[in-house]
């Protein structure tokens, strides 16, 4: 009996060591990596990333300065099977992840009307999956993508390649992101069914704007913090200063006196856009952080208390980047449009952690 127990213990130990070895030999390639939100989340969860690809040169500094992975400035459409195999050469479990640029599929991207610009980015993703057949595929995007044929074709490609595929409509607030951001998360595996970890927060425990940014130095419109140059906010015109002073947290421009209302909103077509020129609420998650979140007139991006739009650092914190995350080299200027694009296009770091933890749990269960 003792011999049997010892044998069972030895066997269990060997299985554990095999699983540890398997987890240790996982590596990820991050397509459309941006400033590194997904990669940073993966690394924080313990899932290593080898390399990130993106076509935006502004991504190189934040990606490599804050992460261990290498950044490659290259259009994913030009990436080959050989490129991926080089990075995956010493990996037992290969993970191909990415957040294809969402503008072609979102309500803000209706200017992308030609099929080429809408579909090619996902077709390139599918081509690389076909060429490389990684064990795990992960994709994050806007919810609207699921209504397009290109997504159906992408999923069909995965199924033909014998992937078990699951897609989830994720409210990021359910996972500790202080933001009302809803996203589509696809997970696919060669091993078997892969599940996203259950929500970590309910509505009573949502992270809020107050918890996330209240501690930062107060600013006036157009000012920059003396201790963090990313904590700077855009200037406001005299009219917009009057407007924000007339705004209340959670309210809309409909609360203003008539002389402050923009002419476009007095038209019938403009009355359906109440979510602009608004203040955030302290004790709620923020609205979805976009690439234009530094502008008061671009959404509900007014500070809950101070008469200004949120700063670039506040936007990054609401995207769950750590306070130390650097988006631009110290000898380069802070350009609002550039940093706003990097922050707004990013996968929230905490969502990246959740996706990575789901992958790690899955690999441990099936290997």
- Kindly list the catalytic residues: 102
Q: What is the Cα–Cα distance from 139 to 325, expressed in whole angstroms? A: 23
153: Cβ contacts below 8 Å, ≥ 6 apart: 126
73: Cβ contacts below 8 Å, ≥ 6 apart: 54, 55, 57, 59, 60
Cβ neighbours, 10 Å, residue 114: 9
Q: What angle do CA 204, 350, 200 make, to 5 degrees?
A: 35
Phi, then psi, of 271 in degrees rounded to 5: -70, -10
Q: What is the Cα–Cα distance from 40 to 63, expressed in whole angstroms? A: 9
Q: How far is residue 149 from each of residues 144, 145, 310, 312, measured CA to CA in Å?
A: 11, 9, 37, 36
Q: What is the Cα–Cα distance from 20 to 174, expressed in whole angstroms? A: 30
How many CA atoms does the CB half-sphere of 83 hold within 13 Å? 17
């Amino acid at each position: 009996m003792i011999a049997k127990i010892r044998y069972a213990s030895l066997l269990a130990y060997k299985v554990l060591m095999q699983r540890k070895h398997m987890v240790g030999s996982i590596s990820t390639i991050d397509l459309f990596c941006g400033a590194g939100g997904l990669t940073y989340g993966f690394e924080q969860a313990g899932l290593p990333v080898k390399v990130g690809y993106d076509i935006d040169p502004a991504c190189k500094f934040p990606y490599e300065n804050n992460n261990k992975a290498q950044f490659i400035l290259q259009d994913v459409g030009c990436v080959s099977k050989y490129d991926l195999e080089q990075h995956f050469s010493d990996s037992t479990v290969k993970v191909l992840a990415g957040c294809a640029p969402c503008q072609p599929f979102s309500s803000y991207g209706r200017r992308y009307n030609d099929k080429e610009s809408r579909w090619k980015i996902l077709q390139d993703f599918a081509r690389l999956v076909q060429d490389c057949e990684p064990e795990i595929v992960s994709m994050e995007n806007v919810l609207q993508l699921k209504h397009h044929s290109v997504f159906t074709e992408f999923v069909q490609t995965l199924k033909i390649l014998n992937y078990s595929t699951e897609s989830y409509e994720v409210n990021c607030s359910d996972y500790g992101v202080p933001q009302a951001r809803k996203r589509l998360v696809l997970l696919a595996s060669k091993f078997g069914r892969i599940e996203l970890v259950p929500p970590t927060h309910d509505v009573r425990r949502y992270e809020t704007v107050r918890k996330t940014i209240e501690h930062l130095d107060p600013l006036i419109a157009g000012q920059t913090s003396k201790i963090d140059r990313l904590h700077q906010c855009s200037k406001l015109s005299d009219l917009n200063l009057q407007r924000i002073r007339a705004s209340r947290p959670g309210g809309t421009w409909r609360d203003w006196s008539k002389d402050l209302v923009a002419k476009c909103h007095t038209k019938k077509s403009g009355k359906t856009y109440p979510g602009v020129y608004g203040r955030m609420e302290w004790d709620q998650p923020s609205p979805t952080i976009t690439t234009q979140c530094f502008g008061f007139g671009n959404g509900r991006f007014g500070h809950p208390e101070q008469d200004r739009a949120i700063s670039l650092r506040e936007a990054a914190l609401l995207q769950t980047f750590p306070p130390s995350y650097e988006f631009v080299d110290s000898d380069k200027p802070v350009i609002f449009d550039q940093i706003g694009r990097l922050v707004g296009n990013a996968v929230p770091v905490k969502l990246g952690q959740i996706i990575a933890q789901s992958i790690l749990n899955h690999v441990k269960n099936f290997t």
